[in-house]
Amino acid sequence: MERDVYPTLRRMLRQRYLFLLLIPGVVWAVLFAYAPMAGLYMAFIDYKPALGDFWGSLFKAKFVGVQWFEYFFSGQDFVRVMRNTLVSSVLTLSIGFAVPIVIAITLNEVRINWFKRTVQTASYLPFFISWVVAASIVITFLSAEGPVNQLLIKLGFVEQGVLFMQEGKLFWIVIALSNAWKEMGYNSIMYLAAIAAIPTELFEAAKVDGAGRMKQIWHVLLPMLRPTIMILLILNIGNLLNTGFDQYFLLGNSLNRSYSDVIDTYAFRYGIQNGMFSFATAVSMFKSVVAFILVIAVNNLSKKMSGTRLF
């Protein structure tokens, strides 16, 4: 027993400053990630808030079991909300996941340093813009007299401005492209770091064998990037239903609601605006459970197909 305990205690004592640095992160996780999980109980009760007595109204409320889940699944909005969430998420993931990889590979091939740094900086900037500002930019550019419509008219693709923000069928592609534009630079950082870690000897050996730049990318760079790509894909699949509230709330309107209403905005509308807190909690909990199942499934699938897994 002494052989097991005392060496561990001595290591902890030697690394005490690292443990001190860890404390703020642990406290943050407990307060903001785990403590709020007590509110999941709200999904199984008929919660009616009482002013100044949250815990009393929570634990004294009538227990209704899975009634709110049944109400959501049997409601006329379920199919529409799930369709919007899944289609929009898959489209956003397809475009937003591929674009950073292409940017990272392209920047890696650029040999003019000042141009490379300029492109990197320009692609990073949108990530630091809040969605309030980003949504205003998107709406302005896609307005009937905005730059995008003016360009389409001059090129002869359309005769008059397209109402992008009023056409529900165009909303999904608008969301996907705006998400890709906003996050492509930041997401490419991880791929650039992974590319920088690839031994140069592999590229030199491929070059000796007569491989050009495209063959080096295809047979050396992409295979070496596969573990990073798979790990990030697993993490992104976990967020498949977590479409994001800000962009849908800011870019959506009454004219495109049949396509812009996703789980996040649906839960907000019923929970905050209509005061159906238990129902909104049940909807959000359903989303989290599905996300958890997707992460487990994709993680196991990745392990079988490529040998790479997150856990």
- Average pLDDT of span 154-159: 86
DSSP type of residue 307: S
- Measured CA to CA, the distance from residue 195 to residue 192 in angstroms comes to 5
The overall average pLDDT reported for the chain is: 86
- Measured CA to CA, the distance from residue 81 to residue 108 in angstroms comes to 40
- pLDDT-derived band at 308 (thresholds 50, 70, 90) equals low
Q: What letter represents residue 191's amino acid? A: Y
The CATH class of the 75-306 domain is mainly alpha
- What are residue 216's phi and psi, to 5 degrees? -65, -40
- pLDDT-derived band at 279 (thresholds 50, 70, 90) equals very high
- What are residue 193's phi and psi, to 5 degrees? -65, -40
- What are residue 5's phi and psi, to 5 degrees? -80, -50
- Measured CA to CA, the distance from residue 30 to residue 198 in angstroms comes to 37
The string of pLDDT tens digits covering residues 11-27 is: 888 888 888 999 999 99
The string of pLDDT tens digits covering residues 240-256 is: 777 778 889 999 888 88
Residue extents of the structural domains in the chain: 75-306
∠ Cα 192 304 294 (to 5°): 75
- Average pLDDT of span 187-202: 88
The string of pLDDT tens digits covering residues 86-104 is: 898 889 888 888 899 999 9
The string of pLDDT tens digits covering residues 27-47 is: 999 999 888 888 888 899 988
- Measured CA to CA, the distance from residue 174 to residue 182 in angstroms comes to 12
Contact of 165 with 256, CB cutoff 8 Å:
yes
What are the distances in angstroms from CA 255 to CA 171, 260, 261, 263? Answer: 10, 9, 11, 18
pTM: 0.81
Burial class of 303 by CB neighbour count within 10 A (0 to 12, 13 to 18, 19+) = middle
